Amino acid sequence: MTAIANIREYIANQPEGQPFASTELRQFASTDNIRQILNRLVKSNEIKKVARGVFVKPKSLTIGEKMPLASEIAEAVAQTTGETIMVHGAEAARQLQLTTQVPTGLVFYTDGNSRTLKMANRTVRLKHINPSRMIEPGTVAGLVITALIYLGKENVEPSTIDSIKKRISEEDFKKTINLINRMPAWLSDIFFRYQKETQNG
């Protein structure tokens, strides 16, 4: 089979609406050849480009097309570039019900360069953050710490920790506690205060 035939077959086997990285196609052709083939498939509307090195086979709907979730695109970008990408603090706080505010835009933290990805009618921002602040990305414990750092010292109390404990599993809470030494000093102090108040209570 030719390179384009192999790539077409690979894409045909991908779930509709699921992004894939161009790096997944290296087994079929050289990097330059892959780029040319993907550009040809984009022009023929067989696939859509959603970010640099990230493509998707859209799912046709009665009206319009189903595009991948922003989180799926972020994961595909991470796979392509090798950088670490994680949920923004505002979204982490919303998921943990620490705030009712819905983030106005789709923003993710990255240890790579800050940039904006445009896809369909959406814009996804990748915001650079010091890698030292990316604690256990992709885990519940990491989500908790990211949310609390976002809320800030003035808005986090031992009662905040207690609220979180009721919303996550006991195992995930223990994992969070075990990361105290990797937290900012002010946040680890609040966890220590929480543990002390719990023991005295």
**Percent above pLDDT 90 for the chain:** 40
- Is residue 73 a part of any domain in this protein? no
Structural domain includes residue 78 = no
Q: Is residue 72 part of a domain?
A: no
Same domain, 100 and 52: no
CATH number at residue 60: 1.10.10.10
pTM for the structure as a whole: 0.66
Any domain includes 191: yes
Residue 150 has pLDDT above 60, yes or no: yes
Query: Could you give the CA distance from residue 194 to residue 76 in angstroms, rounded to a whole number?
Result: 38
Over residues 151-190, the pLDDT tens digits come to 999 999 999 999 999 999 999 999 999 999 999 999 999 9
Digit-coded pLDDT (tens) for 33-64:
999 999 999 888 888 887 778 888 876 543 44
Identify whether residues 153 and 186 lie together within a single domain.
yes
In a domain, 147, yes or no: yes
> Is residue 13 domain-resident?
yes
Q: How many domains does the chain have?
A: 2
Q: Which of 5-14, 56-65, 100-109, 128-137 has the lowest average pLDDT?
A: 56-65
Q: Is residue 76 part of a domain?
A: no
Instruction: Decide which of 21, 41, 66 is a domain's last residue.
Output: 66
Does residue 135 form part of some domain?
yes
Of the candidates 91, 92, 88, 52, which has an alpha carbon nearest to the alpha carbon of residue 73?
Answer: 52
Lowest mean pLDDT among 25-29, 48-52, 133-137, 160-164: 48-52
104 band by pLDDT with thresholds 50, 70 and 90: low
Q: Are residues 60 and 150 in the same domain?
A: no
More confident residue, 101 or 130: 130
Q: Which two tokens stand for residue 61?
A: 């709907």
Statement to judge: residues 94 and 165 lie in one domain:
yes
Residue 65 pLDDT greater than 60, yes or no: no
Domain that holds residue 100: 83-200
